[in-house]
Amino acid sequence: MDLRKEHISLLLPIGESVGGTGSRKSLRRHWNQLSRFQKNLIWIVLIAVCIFVFFLIPYDDAASRESRISEEMEHIQIAPFKDRHEHLGSLHLAAADTALHDKGIPGRSFRSTDGSLVKEVSLVGSQNIKNEMRSRGEESKNIIDEPPAMDSGSRTNNDDNRQHLVEQKLDEPEINAGGEMANDEGVTLQVIQNELKEIVDNEENVLEENRRSDNAKDFKGPTNVRQRAVIEAFLHSWRGYKEFAWGHDNLKPISMSYSDWFGLGLTIVDSLDTLYIMDLQEEYDEARNWVDQYLRFDVNRDVNLFEVTIRVLGGLLSTYHLSGDKMYLDKALDLGQRLLPCFDSPSGIPYSDVNIETMKAHPPKWSPDSSTSEVTTLQLEFRDLSRSTNDPAFETVSYKYHN
């Protein structure tokens, strides 16, 4: 090394890097050099990607496929109410036909659906048949076994229906003056002529009783795939309401709870005519029983005239016209009389709210005025109530503010 020069020369071996310029920075050093904003942005992107991967991308494994298949197969079997029980009854009546045919009793047992007169034939007495059935180990109490219950909540049998009658349409039998028919074995058959009726678990249902009314409408239930799909959707909602909010105004499906606006079971009354048109017998009976036993209007609560008229009063009147059941008309008349004080206003425009227990009406609390868009839609229900009850008071007050 030459110290007399102004610079220093240093000889290095060939092939070695100078000052470690070839080394890489670690990821940790790169991460530490980022600003806080850049770090937060990266974390947000990573979290969003994870959420998308785990929750939004559908999985197609074996478990998910089986779950989807089971959901698709879980359809509600919807059939017209008459068809369901006619099919059930035909299974038991077929066994009865065989037993009666073996004993020489003419005729074929069936359930008529064309509205024609049905003749019921009951065995008044035949000790020989009873003894022979006992010798073969058969139960002599019933000729036809009673049909099994449709479900766990089916009703018990009535005492009036324990005659074990076989419905037959007879081909001109020979009937004596006493209304009895005899065969070769001496078995006396008593012919009972009754009008057509539907019996389910030996108890007559409300819907069929209404259908025999002169004013009742008859609906046969769904007849195609689209109608069945609509009924399936309705039943899904109805069962959720029944489980979590039965008797209350509205169902909260997310929280699986309920809310009450007026405390009048708005959903039940709203659904009465729909249940009747869809021919949903069991659901209709449940709704009707609730209205008959629990729908009371002596509730100390303010109700809105418009909402109660279109939902409760309209629901009761529409179901009355469909079914002919006077119970609905009596309920509608009671409610209509409690709503009349709303029309006793200085301007003639009815008040918007009324306490249906004290029958005191008043304008809404947030405004001194009533909404004309609401009060002008009341004529339909009040006019129908007047013409159904022959009381012109309801129609008169509803048209008062038009003059």
The 10 Å Cβ neighbour count of residue 288 is 22
Q: How far is 377 from 303, CA to CA, in rounded Å?
A: 17
Cβ neighbours of residue 340 closer than 8 Å, sequence gap 6 or more: 359, 393, 394, 397
Q: How far is 145 from 153, CA to CA, in rounded Å?
A: 20
Closest residue by Cα to residue 383 from 393, 370, 372, 373:
393
Q: How far is 282 from 278, CA to CA, in rounded Å?
A: 11
Give the bridge partners for 119, in sequence order: 168, 193
pLDDT by residue for the chain (403 residues), tens digit each? 555 556 677 677 775 555 545 556 688 888 888 898 999 999 999 999 988 888 776 655 555 555 655 554 444 333 344 444 444 445 444 555 555 455 555 444 434 434 444 444 443 344 444 455 445 444 434 333 333 333 434 333 444 443 333 343 334 445 454 444 444 444 444 443 433 334 334 334 555 555 445 667 888 888 899 999 999 999 999 999 999 999 999 999 999 999 998 999 999 999 999 999 999 999 999 999 999 999 999 889 999 999 999 999 999 999 999 999 999 999 999 999 999 999 888 877 888 899 999 999 988 877 666 667 677 788 899 999 999 999 999 999 888 776 6
Q: Which amino acid is at 34?
A: L
Which pLDDT score, from 0 to 100, does residue 113 have? 39
For residues 298 and 286, the answer to whether their CB atoms sit within 8 Å is: no
Contacts for 357-362: CB closer than 8 Å, 24+ residues apart: 357/297, 357/298, 357/299, 357/300, 357/301, 358/300, 361/305, 362/302
Closest residue by Cα to residue 287 from 327, 256, 333:
327
Q: How far is 377 from 23, CA to CA, in rounded Å?
A: 85
Which pLDDT score, from 0 to 100, does residue 170 have? 39
For residues 84 and 59, the answer to whether their CB atoms sit within 8 Å is: no
Cβ neighbours of residue 85 closer than 8 Å, sequence gap 6 or more: 198, 200
| Structure tokens that stand for 372 in this block | 């004309």
Which pLDDT score, from 0 to 100, does residue 11 have? 74
Q: How far is 340 from 100, CA to CA, in rounded Å?
A: 63
Which pLDDT score, from 0 to 100, does residue 348 have? 76
| Structure tokens that stand for 386 in this block | 């007047």
